[in-house]
Structure formats: C-alpha cells, structure tokens
C-alpha cells in the first residue's frame, strides 16, 4: 500500500556521523506551510489508492509542537485515502520525550514512535554529538511503553571505534531487557562531508576493520534470533506483528509520496527528489518554481532496484516476477550461491541466508542487469 513521508528538516544539533538533510535553526513555520502547500499540490499523485502509512522523518520531527503534527495528519486525511488503521510513525529523540508529549502525540494520531537511541552509553553518545544522554534514552523507553504505544522501535549503532563484542552485547541486552518490539541496528559508516569524515581524514579517529563490524553483525543476528525477533530486513528486527509497514512498503516497491526538503518520491516509474536546502525549497514553493529533480526509471533500473531492496529482506525476491529472465541469465551464479550456503531458492524466490546477508549488496550487484542485457 502506498505511503506518505514528511521530512522535518530541523535538528537541535548536528550529530557527527549524520548526512541526512537538516538545519540547526529553530523550526520555521513558513517552511512547514510550504510543506503543506506541496502536499496539497501533489496529493493527486497517489490517485485514489488507500494510504497505509504516514512517516514523520528527518531531521527531528519530535521538535514540532504536537498541534503541528496533528495539523499535518488532518491535512493528509482530508486529501488522501488514509486507511483507518494506518501506521503513523514519528521519529523522536530522547531529549524530546516526556509523558505529556507522548500523550499529545497519541492524541494527534501518532501510532508508532521511532526512538533515536543510538547507544546506552554516555561516552558514546557524547562522541556521536547526540543531544541526549543514556539516562534520557532509558527513561524515554519506559515512558513510551507506559504511554500505551504498542508499537515502537529504537535505533542502535554498532561498528564504533574500539567497540568490543562485550560492549555491543551489553547494548543489545539493555535494549532487550526493556522489551522493545522492534530494533533498527546500523553499522557506523563514514559519510562524505560529515564531521566524522573530517576526523577520520585527520586521523583523529580510526574506524574498526571489517572483521570487527562483521562479528558484531553476527552477534546482533544471534541475539535477536534467541530473543524471538525476526530479521525481516538486514538492519531491522521485529517481534511478530511489529514490522514497520512504512519501510516494508519501500522495500516491496510500493509508490510513496515524499514531502519537504530532500524528500524522495516514487510513483512506480519515476523517482523524484526535492532540493536538500530549506531556503531554496521555500523560495521555489512560494514562487511556484520547480524544487525537485526527477528520473524516469528504465525497466532495467526497476529490476536492479527490486534486486537491491528485495535481497535485503527475509522474503527475498521473486526472480520470475521481475519480468526478465534473471534466473536464466544467472543460473550458475545462483547455484554457486546456494551451494556456498549464502542463498536459498524456493521455486523462483531467492533469499539470502544468515551467512549471505553479510554480502547482500555485492550479491545484488552481481545479479544486476546491464542496460545492454535488454
């Protein structure tokens, strides 16, 4: 089912590793008005399709006053066929969480909280430049559960410099002790032009090797499996009934409408991305000028994207449904994958095994079609 994404491009401070689009200025009402304008202008792009999810991402959407969130949800309901039981997620940072805020978000229509925890250690949080501390992270989890949210998730980061398996295990144990129904765990990567990138180039920070990160990934999978959380996507783990509907719709190639600076949209054939600059976005929306670029995907692009996202999921990808003879072209490669224990083929559906998930991106790109293959 299609989804709606709203990018709230403001943060209290910049985290050292982050390359998302955000500004550390105060939340600016004119920009939120421009986003409403964009939603009104573009709502027809989803046609009459039922909308199964709304996702407030960023940036830091929990900086918005709850009434602003309620207004966006109301507008979406007025313009789109939002399902009565739609999943409506708000990304929130621990320093914005209080019992009052949580009650107000629930009243506004939020059904799921995605908590930007990242770590339960003060030294790591300081190093990452996060605005919260470990006590706030733990307290927020307690408050979310008490506020009656049945679905919520936390983010954790592994692969940090000098992180040991014992440290990572302790982080996972703390998360599990707090009964999280869903976890997104990301390996730290050095993105160009971030503060972390600068520190690594200046040799102020030395990143761990692939072996350490890979061992932590194995530990993560093992721990979650024992605790009964399914790895339904490479970085995402859920108890039964708690998969993220919104993110799952991206991975299964559903259309989505992305609103706000830097937001991406996909309508089944075209990918479009808004300018990642608040001032330029605002000026262009107000002037009625283009604030986006777009690319018409070829059939080959769509097949390659389905391979890239599908192979990251537990269900894998139905090669026969891709519309090209991917199975025929890559029969010996796929046979080798299966005999190495990196993949399994059920009918025409290829899924990666635990061992194969370490190499998901490389395997997908090995299976890519070239433009000349068609």
- The H or E element that residue 7 is part of is strand 3-8
Longest dimension (CA), the chain: 59
Residue placing its CB nearer to ligand SF4 in the complex, 9 or 52: 9
**For 207-215, which contacts have Cβ atoms below 8 Å and span 24 or more sequence positions?**
207/159, 207/161, 208/159, 208/160, 208/161, 208/162, 208/163, 212/159, 212/163, 213/158, 213/159, 213/187, 214/358, 215/165
Residues that bind ligand SF4 (CB under 6 A): 11, 14-15, 18, 20, 22, 58-60, 93, 116
Residue placing its CB nearer to ligand SF4 in the complex, 24 or 270: 24
Residue placing its CB nearer to ligand SF4 in the complex, 171 or 313: 171
Residue placing its CB nearer to ligand SF4 in the complex, 60 or 248: 60
For the bound state, the minimum distance from the C-beta of residue 38 to ligand SF4, rounded and expressed in Å, comes to 20
For the bound state, the minimum distance from the C-beta of residue 96 to ligand SF4, rounded and expressed in Å, comes to 10
Look up residue 173 and give its two tokens.
């144990």
For the bound state, the minimum distance from the C-beta of residue 2 to ligand SF4, rounded and expressed in Å, comes to 24
Residue placing its CB nearer to ligand SF4 in the complex, 20 or 127: 20
Query: DSSP readout, 295-359?
Result: EEPPHHHHHHHHHHHHTTBTT-EEGGGGSS-HHHHTHHHHHHHHHTTSEEEETTEEEE-TTGGGG
**114 secondary structure, DSSP code:** E
For the bound state, the minimum distance from the C-beta of residue 47 to ligand SF4, rounded and expressed in Å, comes to 31
Residue placing its CB nearer to ligand SF4 in the complex, 197 or 294: 197
Residue placing its CB nearer to ligand SF4 in the complex, 15 or 337: 15
Instruction: Taking the CA atoms of 200, 201, 202 and 206 in sequence, report the sign of the dihedral they define.
Output: positive
Q: Which of 144, 137, 110 is nearest to 122 (CA)?
A: 137
Do 215 and 168 meet the contact criterion of CB atoms below 8 Å apart? no
For the bound state, the minimum distance from the C-beta of residue 14 to ligand SF4, rounded and expressed in Å, comes to 5
For the bound state, the minimum distance from the C-beta of residue 254 to ligand SF4, rounded and expressed in Å, comes to 24
Look up residue 312 and give its two tokens.
């990251």
For the bound state, the minimum distance from the C-beta of residue 95 to ligand SF4, rounded and expressed in Å, comes to 10
Cα distance between residue 254 and residue 247, in whole Å: 10
Cα distance between residue 364 and residue 164, in whole Å: 30
Q: Which of 348, 283, 280, 362 is nearest to 319 (CA)?
A: 348
Look up residue 353 and give its two tokens.
């095994």
For the bound state, the minimum distance from the C-beta of residue 180 to ligand SF4, rounded and expressed in Å, comes to 19
Residue placing its CB nearer to ligand SF4 in the complex, 13 or 331: 13
Cα distance between residue 111 and residue 94, in whole Å: 17
Residue placing its CB nearer to ligand SF4 in the complex, 156 or 334: 156
Cα distance between residue 356 and residue 229, in whole Å: 19
For the bound state, the minimum distance from the C-beta of residue 115 to ligand SF4, rounded and expressed in Å, comes to 11
234-272 burial code (b ≥16 CB/10 A, e <16) = bbbbbbeebbbbbbbbbbeebbbbbbbbbbbbbbeeebb
């Amino acid at each position: 089912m299609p989804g709606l994404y709203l990018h709230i491009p403001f943060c209290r401070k910049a985290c050292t590793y982050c390359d998302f689009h955000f500004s550390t200025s105060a939340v600016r009402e004119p920009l939120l008005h421009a986003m409403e304008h964009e939603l009104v202008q573009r709502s027809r792009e989803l046609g009459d399709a039922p909308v199964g999810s709304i996702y407030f991402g960023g940036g830091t959407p929990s900086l918005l006053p709850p009434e602003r969130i309620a207004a966006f949800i109301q507008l979406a309901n007025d313009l789109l066929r939002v399902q009565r039981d739609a999943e409506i997620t708000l990304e929130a940072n621990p320093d914005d969480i209080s019992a009052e805020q949580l009650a107000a978000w629930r009243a506004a229509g939020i059904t799921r909280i995605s908590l930007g925890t990242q770590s339960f250690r003060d030294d790591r949080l300081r190093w990452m430049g996060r605005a919260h501390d470990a006590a706030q992270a733990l307290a927020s989890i307690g408050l979310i559960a008490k506020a009656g949210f049945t679905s919520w998730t936390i983010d954790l980061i592994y692969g940090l410099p000098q992180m040991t398996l014992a440290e990572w295990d302790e982080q996972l144990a703390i998360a599990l002790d707090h009964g999280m129904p869903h976890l997104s765990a990301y390996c730290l990567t050095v993105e160009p032009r971030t503060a972390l990138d600068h520190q690594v180039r200046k040799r102020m920070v030395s990143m761990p090797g692939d072996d350490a990160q890979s061992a932590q990934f194995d530990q993560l999978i093992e721990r979650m499996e024992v605790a009964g959380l399914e790895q339904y996507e490479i970085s995402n783990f859920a108890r039964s009934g708690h998969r993220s509907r919104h993110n799952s719709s991206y991975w299964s190639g559903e259309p989505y409408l992305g609103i706000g600076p830097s937001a991406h949209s996909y309508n089944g054939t075209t990918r479009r991305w808004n300018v990642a600059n608040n001032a330029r976005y605002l000026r262009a929306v107000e002037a009625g000028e283009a604030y986006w670029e777009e690319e018409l995907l070829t059939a080959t692009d769509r097949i390659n994207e389905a391979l890239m996202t599908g192979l990251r999921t537990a269900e894998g990808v139905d090669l026969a449904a891709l519309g090209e003879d991917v199975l025929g072209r890559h029969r010996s490669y796929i046979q080798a994958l299966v005999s190495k224990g990196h993949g399994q083929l059920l009918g025409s559906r290829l899924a990666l095994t635990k061992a194969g998930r370490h190499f998901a991106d490389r395997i997908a790109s090995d299976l890519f079609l070239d433009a000349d293959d068609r």
